[in-house]
Amino acid sequence: MAGDKTVDTTGLLGWIDRRFPLTKLFKEHMSEYYAPKNFNFWYFFGSLALLVLVIQVVTGIFLVMNYKPDAKLAFDSVEYIMREVPWGWLIRYMHSTGASMFFVVVYLHMLRGMFYGSYRKPRELVWIFGVAIFLCLMAEAFMGYLLPWGQMSYWGAQVIVNLFSAIPFIGPELSIWIRGDYVVSDATLNRFFALHVIAVPLVLIGLVVAHIIALHEVGSNNPDGVEIKEGPKDRYGRPVDGIPFHPYYSVHDIVGVAGFLIVFAAILFFAPEMGGYFLEFNNFIPADPLKTPPHIAPVWYFTPFYSMLRATTADFTWILAGSSVLAAIVLFAKGGLKGAWRLAVPVGLLILALLFRTIDAKFWGVVIMGGAVVILGFLPWLDSSPVKSIRYRPGWHKALYAIFIVNFLMLGYLGTQAPNDLFNLLSQIGTVIYLAFFLVMPVWSRLGTFKPVPDRVTFRPH
């Protein structure tokens, strides 16, 4: 009978249920979790991210069985896995391809959240957990990238860890503490191995669980941004615009999984290096502390933020200082801030402008690179649009999102290239566009003529 909450207490399942809430958990998070019935293509990527996480954990376990976290043996152990371990090449390529595919699906998953306002009330905590997962994933990828002990692994780690030395007062000591030595060495490899294999995955899995629990507590968003829990309900109190996640979406997601695995297998078997973007050619050369590669760049999924780091030169800090002064003048003249804030915020911006010119540009590059990621966590409070979904926003809002996407891709490409004057200028323009998109969002997101949001989700059976 529909709505029956009784639990079978007989057999093996009953024995388990009396000791562990297995059936209850299945009902709460699968068969009796009602999701909006108008999910589209964009909603594949959450389950795909979970699939790739499983692939990474399983393949990582098998790689650890033969990997040696030793500066003298690490590169050779990877070659041993590739050449001597039965199916070792497949496991290694699954792990390296999986790392890039993880970021592909996570970037698309976050983009969907931005399109449909999935960070808006009541899902602020869901979004914050998601951004924390993204930060954790970046740390996991960075530490794992050092483990093959190739040329790009070694020098990439040297460059990134050295960035911490730009922090005033504690920077040099902090970078030594992170490396465990004065240069990237065996001590660095061992601690990165421990963090990559044990510490960060535990935090990552915990955050994923928290993300899912928080999501299922408030319910999933949908392309219309309509809250189905607040809409009409049937006689059992279930939302009319919702359907059980299982079996409908658990089966529906199989389509996304099948499509993803086809693409994954095509890359895995035919182009695991992806032209040097997934696996750089320099990383097939053993690490040599005495020979610096002509061009050092991180893997593609870090390159948009790496471009912002390189764009922050001494000349660029003049632009940042000028922008801060201009913002201070506008805020004070407009009088949009009330009380003590009217004076405190402009004064703070003027002090910031002074700091831009007195502290080394390298430090501000690190701040902008980190801030470009952290600012995502503030989206629920930056977006002041009266509607959630991009479907009901003005057309020029969609154009801004398109510019943001193209700009992010441009920054990603520029980060893979050797710097020159033109590329540096484009990176600086791209950095300004990226930061302005978020920092000016409280203003532009509420401007324009918005379409009326329907009371119920729009749905066409297919």
Residue 151's pLDDT band (boundaries 50, 70, 90)? very high
User: Torsions phi, psi of 239, nearest 5?
Assistant: -65, 130
Please give the residue that has the higher pLDDT: either 49 or 166: 49
Long-range contacts of 398-407 (CB under 8 A, 24+ apart): 400/437, 400/444, 401/114, 401/115, 403/433, 403/437, 404/433, 404/434, 404/437, 405/111, 407/433, 407/434, 407/437
Say which residues have a Cβ less than 8 Å from residue 149's Cβ, sequence separation at least 6. 71, 74, 75, 78, 189, 286, 287
Average pLDDT on 56-63 reads 97
Predicted pLDDT of residue 403: 97
Closest CA to 255 of 105, 26, 47: 47
Residue 293's pLDDT band (boundaries 50, 70, 90)? confident
**109 annotated as a binding-site residue:** yes
Average pLDDT on 19-31 reads 90
Say which residues have a Cβ less than 8 Å from residue 441's Cβ, sequence separation at least 6. 379, 382, 383, 384
Predicted pLDDT of residue 242: 92
Average pLDDT on 172-186 reads 92
Residue 441 above 90 pLDDT? yes
- Terminal Cα-to-Cα distance of the chain (whole angstroms): 28
**252 annotated as a binding-site residue:** no
Q: Report d(CA 246, CA 361) in Å as an integer.
A: 53
Q: Which two structure tokens, joined as six digits, stand for 342? A: 């009217």
Average pLDDT on 53-72 reads 96
**95 annotated as a binding-site residue:** yes
Predicted pLDDT of residue 330: 81
Q: Average pLDDT over the chain, rounded to whole?
A: 91
Helix, coil or strand: residue 337: coil
Q: Report d(CA 456, CA 241) in Å as an integer.
A: 7
pLDDT in tens, 72-103: 999 999 999 999 999 999 999 999 999 999 99
Please give the residue that has the higher pLDDT: either 2 or 294: 294
Residue 339 above 70 pLDDT? yes
Of 195-204, 211-220, 273-282, the poorest mean pLDDT is in 273-282
Closest CA to 382 of 131, 124, 109, 106: 124
**29 annotated as a binding-site residue:** no
Residue 428's pLDDT band (boundaries 50, 70, 90)? very high
**211 annotated as a binding-site residue:** yes
Residue 462 above 80 pLDDT? no
Average pLDDT on 423-436 reads 94
Q: Are 340 and 452 in contact (CB under 8 A)?
A: no
Q: Which residues pair with 286 in a beta bridge?
A: 150
For 182-215, letters b (16+ CB in 10 Å) and e give: eebebebbebbbebbbeebbebbeebbebbeebb
Average pLDDT on 21-30 reads 90
Residue 346 above 50 pLDDT? yes
pLDDT in tens, 430-440: 999 999 999 88
Please give the residue that has the higher pLDDT: either 207 or 327: 207
Predicted pLDDT of residue 334: 73
pLDDT in tens, 204-243: 999 999 999 999 999 999 999 999 988 888 888 899 999 9
Predicted pLDDT of residue 331: 76
- What is 23-275+286-296's CATH number, 3.30.390.30, 1.10.760.10, 1.20.810.10, 3.40.50.170? 1.20.810.10
Residue 1's pLDDT band (boundaries 50, 70, 90)? very low
Average pLDDT on 179-195 reads 93
Instruction: Tokens 């024995």: give the residue.
Output: 15
Predicted pLDDT of residue 337: 65
Predicted pLDDT of residue 425: 93
Helix, coil or strand: residue 139: helix
Residue 3's pLDDT band (boundaries 50, 70, 90)? very low
Instruction: Tokens 């780690």: give the residue.
Output: 157
Q: Where are the domains positioned within the chain?
A: 23-275+286-296, 299-457
pTM of the model: 0.93
pLDDT in tens, 406-421: 999 999 999 999 888 9
Predicted pLDDT of residue 7: 56
